Amino acid sequence: MQSVLEPSAAAAGPSWRERLAQAVPFLVLAPSLAATLIYVFVFTGWTLYISLSNSSLLPTYKFIGLKPYADLWANTRWNIAYHNLFIFSAFYVVGAMAVGLLLAIVIDQRVRGEAIWRTIFLYPLAVSFVVTGTVWSWLYTPDTGIQLFVRSLGWSNFTFALTTDRNLALYAIVITGIWQSSGFAMALFLAGLRSVDQDIIKAAQIDGAGVFRIYARVILPTIAPIFLAVMVVLLQFAIKTFDLAIALTNGGPGIATTFPAIYVYDLMFQRGQIAQGAAAAIMILAALAVVLVPYSLWLVWRKRREGKNG
Amino acid sequence: MADIALTRALDPEAAIAGRRYFRSRTIIYGLLTIFAIVYLLPLVVVILNSFRQLPEIAQNGLIAWPRSFSFKAWVDAWSTYCVGGTCAGMQGNFFNSLKLAIPATIISTAIGAINGYILSKWKFRGSEILFGCMMLGVFMPGQVALMPWAYILGTLHLTNSTYGLILIHCVQGISFTTLFCRNFYVNIPDDLIKAARIDGAGFWRIFRKIILPLSPPILIVTVIWQFTGIWNEFLYAVIFTSGREQPITAALVALSTNGTNVRVYDVMSAAVLIGALPPLLVYLLGGKYFVRGLTQGAIK
Amino acid sequence: MSALTVHNLRKSFGAVEVLKGIDLEARNGEFVALVGPSGCGKSTLLAMIAGLESVTSGEIRIGERLVNSVAPKDRDIAMVFQSYALYPTMTVRENMLFGMESRKVPRPEQEATLARVAALLQIEALLKRKPGQLSGGQRQRVAMGRALVRDPKLFLFDEPLSNLDAKLRVDMRTEIKKLHHRVGKTTVYVTHDQVEAMTLASRIAVMHQGSVQQFDEPQRIYDHPANMFVAGFMGSPAMNFIPAELTTEGGKPALTIKLADGETATLALFDNVASRATSKQVILGIRPEHLSRYDPEARAQKPGMVSLHAPVELVEPTGAETIAVMRLGDLEIVGRFDPDEAPSMGEEILLGVDMAHACLFDPATRQLI
């Protein structure tokens, strides 16, 4: 009926079949695990090493220390790129969050056709940055886009020529970025607003708080973690900005809208300064780490604290 | 008597409340409408222009009600327009993108499902740490991987080929798909797995008979996320492919920076729509799952 | 012959030892309940018997066979889970067949077993439904059915009734008992509910902090709890614990306890326990039902009856009986009264204490003297 193991054999520990069965999950996981770990650690280490080498047109492995980094930071274009990244990130993150929050709160007022509104505000996210950038670049073009349209309505002095102005082109990218990503912020905020315990809101209403006060004092504070999550994700988008700027302004006019990610591409594949390009890539990684490491630590800390309380 | 008096006393307040309600509703729908116009404007402009004729666009600008109608731009964009010397339109690039996105989506989702199953239901010593390390892949900026990929694709003779991009997206997608699936499977009660083990089912049988039948929601989310992500990806596409091998996203940029002074907005509108249509369709058909993917991706 | 033997079983998670040398056995056809508060290790013990948790040290034998490192599927066991763990995407029928399919039981045999068990549990009408379409009680039956089709050596139940509402729980308890009588399979049943353990089990293992406090027949555990933990855990309302001092009264052993107003009362002991005590200080354990309104006439029939005064602080009628909380020095004691002779709030009751049922505990070791 059943296979009776010899007691002595069983006492000696699991049979080889048993051991194999126990190892199956790990064996199945191993290849993709290895690929991912190589991708994360080996690739990073590799690029890090190249960034410390004298590679130019082709990667070489002669170690020269931090010189590529020094060269990079001495370069005007890189400094503009880094500067742009800060300005862009600030305006883009704040803008997208503000618009997203506004839309989420408005939609949360039991509006009719909620699904339709949501679909409209979120669809840009399904479209690539390339498509978004291309189309908006047309709209920004003064003699065919928005400027022409408004002038044709009668305001003949109206000017809207962001992309041709080296001081304003960055803000064209900001606006487009907000247009593209605020739906994302909206979706997350809305999910957060919906997850707030309805009893708390009822209690606040019974306490006599108005709509504005309920949002400001009760609802928004409880979804504070979502603000942080949205901010972190948007910052990530910002730091990785590449496609949008390429399609929208191609870094121009001149080098006014260069971003670190664009510069990496240029250094590596257009100018044959691979070491410096790798250094720039590592700087992008560092920027991400500055955002993500504290955030992850905070998440872990919060989890621990909840674990203790719960 | 008392009732009538009460109603009368309340009446003015009710009127004020009604007016206030009406005013707030007006503001709400007004705001929504304004934003909706801003959000829809680019899409509507592109759609309309893809059916207008070029002279009319040149004359009236991009934002104008169409006075002409033609499918010519679509035909051109699909099959005859010349980019970089070849005159076969975007269809080749479109199919490149399909050949890239479909297998890469399927493979990375399948791997993610199995990984997620292991990391949630067959935990072993150190599996949580390994999971954490795998998740670093979610945040890796593509730029850091450029040189290594260039080397690997070169060694494998996969540069300028769809297969190279498939490889890249499979490896890079594993982190995402594993994260999605693992977070979903964690919520499947462990008792189910225990019951199945006592019932004599092994690793694969439990996956096939118990986990997979429960998985459609997360598989749809993952497939949508991966497909739109891979379809829309630009950095690797533009670096590792060129010309006829390019996926459509890269080809669109090549098209719009074609160097000619006269912008062929009609053809380019059609081309942009060809490039945007598959993810848009996926979004419209699976909107609920798309949003779920977003929220999951952001808030773990 | 033993169907299950657990010998000196230990389990550690890292530095934390959750099971500290468990000894347990179940005879063929016996119903053993593992009872204890949450976190006592009872579910871990069950999971180890099932093979779902590894053994740190010690032995588990099912029948004569050592199963320490045998996979769950090869242990010839079946288990009913607290959450039922019915496969949500399968119908009831598929749920019940899954185990037999996994084991490649011949098709006709599968069908015959399914039909037999479905009839036994009266779930024939549910076979085509999915778990989501079943009520709690029906799920419970199906979960048992899935275990029964396996015809295993050993049945394991992990708090199977705790997700049911109170009424259904009592009904299902009766059903499980009937079922066990009919099927006669050795059963290990984990619960935190001492009433369940008392009503179902032929023997109970009371667990606390990773060890078995007492393993015995239900009535013996109730009447002679091995220590204060068992005494306090089994029975509701819980046993009263009253610090007391061993004295003598008229040459016979007695107990002195403090009363509300600083006075003392002396209760005669009707047992030779006093001789086993190692110190004068003891703890008197007396169950609520052994307190009553003192009736001098009844005393003749109950030789253990002694009396003392106690003010009544709270009265809780439950219908069948009335629970009263009374003050005794610094303590509150709980009595269980017939509603007809229940005290009223504020009354100074003359309380009869049935010393024949008293337990004495050593305050230092907390063990029964």
For residue C128 the two structure tokens come to 């085509």
A61 domain residue, yes or no: no
Reference B93, options B227, B264, B241, B229; nearest CA is: B241
pLDDT in the model for residue A10: 42
What CA–CA distance (Å, rounded) separates B249 from B226? 15
Rounded to 5 degrees, what angle do the CA atoms B70, B73, B78 make? Answer: 130
* A190 plus A228 within the same structural domain: yes
Q: Which residues touch B19 (CB under 8 Å, ≥6 apart)?
A: none
- Cβ distance A4 to C65 less than 8 Å, yes or no, reads yes
CA distances from B1 to A24, A219, B10, B11, B15 (A): 82, 43, 14, 15, 22
Pairing of strands C240-249, C252-258: antiparallel
Burial of B206 (0-12, 13-18, 19+ CB in 10 A): buried
Can you tell me the ipTM of this complex?
0.85
- Cβ distance A7 to C76 less than 8 Å, yes or no, reads no
Helix (H) or strand (E) holding C116: helix C107-121
CA end-to-end span of chain C: 32
* A46 plus A73 within the same structural domain: no
Ranking C13-27, C46-60, C252-266 by mean pLDDT, the lowest is C252-266
- Number of domains making up chain A: 2
User: Which residues form the domain of A247?
Assistant: 68-309
Q: How many CB atoms are located within 10 Å of the residue C259 CB?
A: 15
Q: How many CB atoms are located within 10 Å of the residue A101 CB?
A: 24
- Cβ distance B42 to A136 less than 8 Å, yes or no, reads yes
pLDDT in the model for residue B84: 64
Reference A272, options A54, A43, A45; nearest CA is: A54
Residues from C contacting A (CB-CB < 8 Å) are: 64-71, 74, 76
Reference B132, options B190, B189, B182, B187; nearest CA is: B182
Angle between helices B142-155 and A43-50 (to 10 degrees): 100
A59 domain residue, yes or no: no
Residue B233 in contact with residue B76, Cβ under 8 Å?
A: no
Q: What mean pLDDT, rounded, does chain A reach?
A: 85
* A82 plus A226 within the same structural domain: yes
For residue C331 the two structure tokens come to 């303590």
- Cβ distance A29 to B31 less than 8 Å, yes or no, reads no
Residue B186 in contact with residue C75, Cβ under 8 Å?
A: no
- Tally of CA atoms within 13 A in the half-sphere of C70 that contains its CB: 27
* A279 plus A133 within the same structural domain: yes
| CA dihedral sign of residues B178, B128, A229, A108 | positive
**Residue matched to tokens 């300064």:** A273
What CA–CA distance (Å, rounded) separates A179 from A100? 10
* A93 plus A211 within the same structural domain: yes
A191 domain residue, yes or no: yes
**Residues in chain A within 8 Å Cβ distance of C65:** 4-5, 7, 10
Distance from CA of A19 to the nearest CA of C (A): 10
**What is the CATH superfamily name and number for domain C240-361?**
Nucleic acid-binding proteins (2.40.50.140)
* A219 plus A278 within the same structural domain: yes
Residue-wise pLDDT tens digits, A31-74: 999 999 999 999 999 999 888 888 777 777 788 888 888 888 98
* A34 plus A72 within the same structural domain: no
Neighbours of chain C (3+ CB pairs under 8 A): A, B
Class of domain B91-298: mainly alpha
Residue-wise pLDDT tens digits, A251-271: 778 788 888 888 888 888 888
What's the full length of chain A, in residues?
A: 310
pLDDT-derived band of residue A7, with 50, 70 and 90 as boundaries? very low
For residue C356 the two structure tokens come to 């024949």
Residue C237: is the preceding peptide bond cis (ω within 30°)?
Answer: yes
Dmax of chain B from CA atoms?
95
pLDDT in the model for residue B163: 93
Reference B270, options B108, B132, B76, B9; nearest CA is: B76
Residue A280 in contact with residue B143, Cβ under 8 Å?
A: yes
Residue C230 in contact with residue C221, Cβ under 8 Å?
A: yes
For residue C254 the two structure tokens come to 């007695």
* A30 plus A81 within the same structural domain: no
What CA–CA distance (Å, rounded) separates C255 from C243? 10
Residue C343 in contact with residue C312, Cβ under 8 Å?
A: yes
The enclosing domain of A218 has a CATH number of 1.10.3720.10
Indicate the residue of B189, B191, B198 with minimum beta-carbon distance to C73.
Answer: B198
What CA–CA distance (Å, rounded) separates B163 from B171? 12
What CA–CA distance (Å, rounded) separates A108 from A117? 11
Residues from C contacting B (CB-CB < 8 Å) are: 47, 50-52, 71-73, 75, 77-79, 81-85, 87-90, 98-99, 102-103, 146, 150
What CA–CA distance (Å, rounded) separates B150 from B240? 8
For residue A126 the two structure tokens come to 């399904």
Residue C18 in contact with residue C11, Cβ under 8 Å?
A: yes
| CA dihedral sign of residues A208, A210, A214, A217 | negative
pLDDT digit string (tens) for chain B, length 300 residues? 444 444 444 566 677 777 878 888 888 899 999 999 999 999 998 998 888 888 888 778 788 888 888 888 888 888 888 766 677 788 889 999 999 999 999 999 999 999 999 999 998 888 889 998 888 888 888 889 988 999 999 999 988 889 999 999 999 999 999 998 998 999 899 999 999 999 989 899 999 999 999 999 889 989 988 999 999 999 899 889 888 888 998 888 887 766 554 578 888 889 899 999 999 998 888 877 877 777 665 554
**Residues in chain B within 8 Å Cβ distance of A187:** 291, 294-295
For residue A275 the two structure tokens come to 């070491």
**Residue matched to tokens 């978004």:** A132
What CA–CA distance (Å, rounded) separates C234 from C239? 8
pLDDT in the model for residue C304: 67
pLDDT in the model for residue C125: 92
**Residues in chain C within 8 Å Cβ distance of B210:** 87, 89
Ranking B79-93, C121-135, C304-318 by mean pLDDT, the lowest is B79-93
Reference C257, options C227, C280, C279; nearest CA is: C280
Count H helices, E strands: chain C?
8, 20
CA distances from A66 to A52, A83, A199, C287 (A): 6, 21, 58, 81
Count H helices, E strands: chain A?
16, 0
CA end-to-end span of chain A: 48
What CA–CA distance (Å, rounded) separates A56 from C307? 102
- Tally of CA atoms within 13 A in the half-sphere of B286 that contains its CB: 22
pLDDT in the model for residue A56: 77
pLDDT of A186 > 80? The answer is yes
* A73 plus A148 within the same structural domain: yes
As annotated, the residues of chain C forming the CATH 2.40.50.140 domain(s) are 240-361
- C262 phi, psi to nearest 5 deg: 85, -10
Q: Which residues touch C302 (CB under 8 Å, ≥6 apart)?
A: C354, C356
What CA–CA distance (Å, rounded) separates C253 from C272? 8
Residue B219 in contact with residue B185, Cβ under 8 Å?
A: no
Residue C294 in contact with residue C305, Cβ under 8 Å?
A: yes
A57 domain residue, yes or no: no
Neighbours of chain A (3+ CB pairs under 8 A): B, C
What CA–CA distance (Å, rounded) separates B130 from A30? 10
CA end-to-end span of chain B: 61
pLDDT of A283 > 80? The answer is yes
pLDDT of A6 > 90? The answer is no
Query: Between residues C311 and B11, which one has the greater pLDDT?
Result: C311
A2 domain residue, yes or no: no
Residue C85 in contact with residue C143, Cβ under 8 Å?
A: yes
- Cβ distance A14 to C69 less than 8 Å, yes or no, reads yes
Count H helices, E strands: chain B?
15, 0
For residue A163 the two structure tokens come to 């992309």
Query: Between residues A71 and C10, which one has the greater pLDDT?
Result: C10
Helix (H) or strand (E) holding C255: strand C252-258
- Cβ distance C71 to A21 less than 8 Å, yes or no, reads yes
What's the full length of chain B, in residues?
A: 300
Average pLDDT of span C5-19: 91
pLDDT in the model for residue A11: 46
CA distances from A102 to A96, A123, A234 (A): 10, 17, 17
Percent of chain C with pLDDT over 70: 96
**Residues in chain A within 8 Å Cβ distance of C69:** 10, 13-15, 18
Beta bridge partners, A51, equal none
Residue-wise pLDDT tens digits, C269-308: 776 777 777 788 889 999 999 988 887 776 666 666 777 7
For residue B196 the two structure tokens come to 């199945």
Q: CA-nearest residue of chain C to B122?
A: C52
pLDDT of C260 > 70? The answer is no
Dmax of chain C from CA atoms?
79
What CA–CA distance (Å, rounded) separates C144 from C310? 50
* A40 plus A170 within the same structural domain: no
pLDDT of A17 > 80? The answer is no
**What is the CATH superfamily name and number for domain C2-230?**
P-loop containing nucleotide triphosphate hydrolases (3.40.50.300)
**Residues in chain A within 8 Å Cβ distance of B249:** 128, 130-131, 243
Pairing of strands C252-258, C264-268: antiparallel
Residue A168 in contact with residue A91, Cβ under 8 Å?
A: no
Indicate the residue of A29, A134, A145 with minimum beta-carbon distance to B115.
Answer: A29
Global pTM?
0.84
Helix (H) or strand (E) holding C190: strand C186-191
The domain limits of chain B are 2-70, 91-298
**B207-216 exposure pattern, b = at least 16 Cβ within 10 A, e = fewer:** bebbbeebbe
pLDDT of C26 > 90? The answer is yes
Interface with B, mutate which of A22, A101, A134 (most B CBs under 10 A): A134
pLDDT in the model for residue B115: 95
DSSP for A19-72 reads HHHHHHHHHHHHHHHHHHHIIIIIHHHHHHHHTTB--SSS----B-TTHHHHHH
As annotated, the residues of chain C forming the CATH 3.40.50.300 domain(s) are 2-230
